[in-house]
Structure 1
């Protein structure tokens, strides 16, 4: 999003920054990067973006595109680093399979990658051979175990549905679930991504079943919430609320999979994983069909977690060389 006021330009569709009169180029699809001629008079590319630490958030793909654009145009890049609101230590979820590249991820990294945007840019630039002339300006006083609130900085929402600095933690759990479109994750409430809601969900039963998994750092409680727009608009809808007690201990991916697997066990007719549209949505965001297929086969949660570990171990090793801030 572009946060400052814009003015109409001389030609239709052109926008100008109200303060500097500079041309504003809005990138709505991260796969559609600016054209070379858009940067004809540029001497430097500065990247100053608040990322949220999640592979399928558009800014990650946008970062890769900007680095590639800078290399093509022989422009030096300066990236101003910012905190990772999910945390600099949290690595979770499957590594993207190359066949599932999309606007939700172009390079094989985990769902939650445990790096700041500056560290990720260094990783992309070297490991995947982009080769841009990149300089990262690091943060002073930042620690990997900081939550965003620990930094004392003001949170400017990078998206309308990420209103609080804690929201990205919940988005990491339910973001890929919401793409199925068969239940609500709370978008349309005052707390997006904090809920799993549908008229057919028994919140008491679902929370009890999820408690059996003994997931660390979080809990599930029955809820009934009114949505102001989206699915079940203006209806008080039953379900569960997700509560993260310890951001350092919870695993966003396995928490999301536990929710999906439990819903599928309780309400198989409402969770049509074999439906092509739904399976494509899930596979695209998760980075491959492995997890969905495992759920359909009834594979236990701990085995699903074990399945993705080899590539996560490999990623952790490659990641070490690009960390600006030491691990605690």
Structure 2
């Protein structure tokens, strides 16, 4: 395939629609065209007046670790103000938008509900509507394909910055499609335009698009990471290391107290993947500088691999085999001060309680699937690609 992203399509069709406008860009290092030119340079070289940049989690430069607050500053090379949307503010305020006519969102997503960029987009759409600004999304592929969906759905009362609307963990949509859904389903009164991709089909994985992967966050180095992330990020809600601080985040996992043999003896057959025992020492994050025993999660058949249910079976098994050591992570987490991090990641309390009560993984999977058929019907209305 020779997929063209929204920014590639825009370059081909021209920038006349922005010629007399003041533009604000929500971007990061993944905001590039096929030739690795960043979006801000592309707009500037086409004589578009870029008046503001907006920084999502990890920063507009992409150098910040998870949950590290961004600061606002002025870009030294262009003198364009950069406003933080991850810290004191999660959405642009009136002052940030006073010199902006159109907000443009161009960031590579990874297809998981708790990857925060889509909620930066949603909150910015609300503010754009409030202050009569146009909002444009330059669409990009869902890197783990646009067909496969895994629950659970986000339940009411579990909204947070890792989930503000009831979609499944693995939603199977692009950022452009999500924007259309948010506008309609949340009644956001904003003038919205999605610049569609060309040459992308729902069945495609990122490595089938002909595009080059540019990591959208420091711990998302490859499409393989994105493949496991919708499940393995759930380990953030536990005291198991999810591999941050290693060369294989979300593929490595473990803890200083973990006995890999106990886990392998107990765990059931995992679909589409294998666990290989190993040791690792994180350079930062959980268990910094400590030797951890654990595993690398190897994908053997990504079409059969179910990241969410795989991660839940791992958590269930580790808790069962290490009852004195396993713990749920305590808040705060992603601006949430009261609820368990695991609960806002998974989207409810049900799954955590089922794990605590030692339910079978089959029963847990059935609980994860509740409401998915109804979601698929809603989702269908906003799909832009076959």
Q: TM-score, normalised by structure 2?
A: 0.76
Question: 2:266: which partner in 1?
Answer: 209
Give yes or no for contact 1:183–1:197 (8 Å, CA) kept in 2: yes
Deviation at 1:318, TM superposition (A): 0.7
The unaligned stretches of length 5 or more in structure 1 are: 6-12
2:62 and 2:217 in contact (8 A); partners too: no
1:225 to 280, 289, 296: 280
Write the distance in 2 (CA, Å) between the matches of 1:38 and 1:196: 40
Of 219, 233, 236, which aligns to 1:161?
219
Residue 244 of structure 1 corresponds to which residue in structure 2?
Answer: 299
* 1:100 corresponds to 2:155: no
What is the rounded CA distance, in whole Å, between the counterparts of 2:160 and 2:102 in structure 1?
28
- In the alignment, is the contact (CA less than 8 A) between 1:31 and 1:65 conserved in 2? no
Q: 1:88-143, CA deviations, whole angstroms, 9 ceiling, x for partnerless residues?
A: 11211211112011111111111111101111111111122113211111111112
Task: Kindly indicate whether residue 143 of structure 2 is the aligned counterpart of residue 88 of structure 1.
Answer: no
Correspondence for 1:65 = 123
Greater alpha carbon shift after TM alignment, 21-30 vs 195-204: 21-30
Partner of 2:314: 259
Q: Give, in angstroms, the shift of residue 195 of structure 1.
A: 1.9
Aligned partners of 2:62, 2:295: CA distance in 1, in Å?
Answer: 37
Partner of 1:52: 110
Counterpart secondary structure, 2:229: helix
Gaps of 5+ in 2: 1-58, 64-70, 334-338
What do residues 177-198 of structure 1 show as CA deviations (whole Å, max 9, x unaligned)? 1232x22121111111112211
Change (3 A) 1:124 1:20: same
Match of 1:287 in 2: 347
Q: Report how far residue 201 of structure 1 moved.
A: 1.7
The answer for the alignment partner of 2:252 in structure 1 is 195
- Provide TM-score, normalisation by structure 1: 0.89
- Number of residue pairs matched by the alignment: 316
SS of equivalent to 2:369: helix
Against the structure 1 CA distance between its residues 258 and 166, is the aligned structure 2 distance closer, same or farther, given a 3 Å change threshold?
same
* Secondary structure at the counterpart of residue 295 of structure 1: helix
Contact 1:207–1:221, Cα closer than 8 Å, also in 2: no
**Distance of 2:72 and 2:261 partners within structure 1:** 53
Distance 1:101 1:144 in 2: 28
Q: Which has the higher helix share?
A: 1
Structure 2 CA distance, aligned partners of 1:31 and 1:105? 17
Give the corresponding residue for 2:369. Answer: 309
| Distance change (3 Å), C-alpha of 1:274 and 1:122 | closer
